[in-house]
Amino acid sequence: MRWSWKVATIAGIPIRIHATFFLLLVWIAWQSAAGGGGLRQALGGAGFILAAFACIVLHELGHALMGRRFGVVTKDITLLPIGGLARLDRIPRRPPEEVAIALAGPAVNVAIAAVLLLFMHLSPGVYDFGDPLLYQRSFVAPLFVWNLLVTAFNLIPAFPMDGGRVLRALLAMRLDYVRATRIAANVGQGIALLFAVLGVLWNPMLILIAFFVFLGAGAESSFVQMRSVFDGVPVSRAMIRDFRALEASDPISKAVELLLDGHQQDFPVLAGPNGDPPIGILTRSDLLKSLAGGRTDIRVGDVARTPCGVAGPNEMLEQVFQRMQESGCNAVPVVEPGRGIVGMLTLENVGEYAMVQAALHRAAKVAPIV
């Protein structure tokens, strides 16, 4: 994820912090100082946030380590102001596995809460549960309540929370995966609307949560729908066969001519004129950035993106599409051994292919029986 930095590696999983997380710490410290609490209270507030998000990291590690048992790899965990985000390389299609992975996170928070409760019970002189100011004076007691709230929130049956994934898995035991996801997403969006109403009447923070849940549920449904369209489809079915290539030594003025002459926006860049393997991609956005300086004699090879890699015509579309999203590349050349570049795969064309297939699928469902 952009604007995030790696701060640690736990169990082989990179832990990253997003830039917006530091804004949360600053906001908490400023709120404490503005309330007259002074530097000590400001540091205490920031310390509690760090401890709370350490529990979030453990929550996400619970998902990751349970997923590892089923062969699901966690690429990284990123801390955001709204919580943690674990990037899994795939979603398990077997419902019992998805249930186990989804519940592993809340189980970690329950375990943390149990340990904190035991600690407070073993310290009766310090933690008096009859004290109405306990949660203001103590550091451990609010952390105990925090873990209970995280558990309850994540078990709400709405994407992207864990409860939504459990609901989808239970539905998938009786329904096909796409339909189960659609129903679970609709339930989640219904709950989001309820949160929005409660936010207007009670706490505005619920409006932000409603927005997050509504978008997350819709994104999950769209992702699974698109993945079902790509299932078992090779790259050759969706690639562009009519394309133009550039050489690394060409001036970008040539790319401008090709861009204005046709519909192609992204160009494979070759090392030389002899059908050499592509060395990168010149995207429309990178071309326009290079033109911003007013020069058109810059070499194409100097502005081409090199980490985009290539795809094979027989590779599965779903896997290549995922690589493109992760690398931030809008296009990749499709290379066949012995023939060189045989096509181009672009995010735009992949989206169009998905829309066409989805429309054909809907038409097949409503076609009259004769």
Q: Which residues are catalytic?
A: 60
Handedness of CA 18, 185, 167, 353 (dihedral sign): negative
Name the phi and psi angles at 134, rounded to 5.
-55, -45
Q: How many other C-beta atoms lie within 10 A of the C-beta of residue 278? A: 25
- The answer to whether 45 and 28 have CB atoms below 8 angstroms apart is yes
Residue type, 222: S
- The answer to whether 117 and 54 have CB atoms below 8 angstroms apart is no
Distance from C-alpha of 258 to C-alpha of 252, rounded to nearest angstrom: 10
- The answer to whether 294 and 312 have CB atoms below 8 angstroms apart is no
Distance from C-alpha of 62 to C-alpha of 120, rounded to nearest angstrom: 24
Distance from C-alpha of 56 to C-alpha of 51, rounded to nearest angstrom: 9
154 closest CA partner among 105, 208, 88: 105
Distance from C-alpha of 250 to C-alpha of 254, rounded to nearest angstrom: 7
57 closest CA partner among 100, 112, 98, 133: 112
Pull the structure tokens for residue 86. 């674990």
- The answer to whether 179 and 187 have CB atoms below 8 angstroms apart is no
- The answer to whether 45 and 24 have CB atoms below 8 angstroms apart is no
Distance from C-alpha of 358 to C-alpha of 351, rounded to nearest angstrom: 11
15 closest CA partner among 61, 67, 55: 61
Query: Distance from first CA to last CA of the chain, Å, rounded?
Result: 51
User: By CB neighbour count within 10 A (0-12 exposed, 13-18 middle, 19+ buried), where does 207 fall?
Assistant: middle
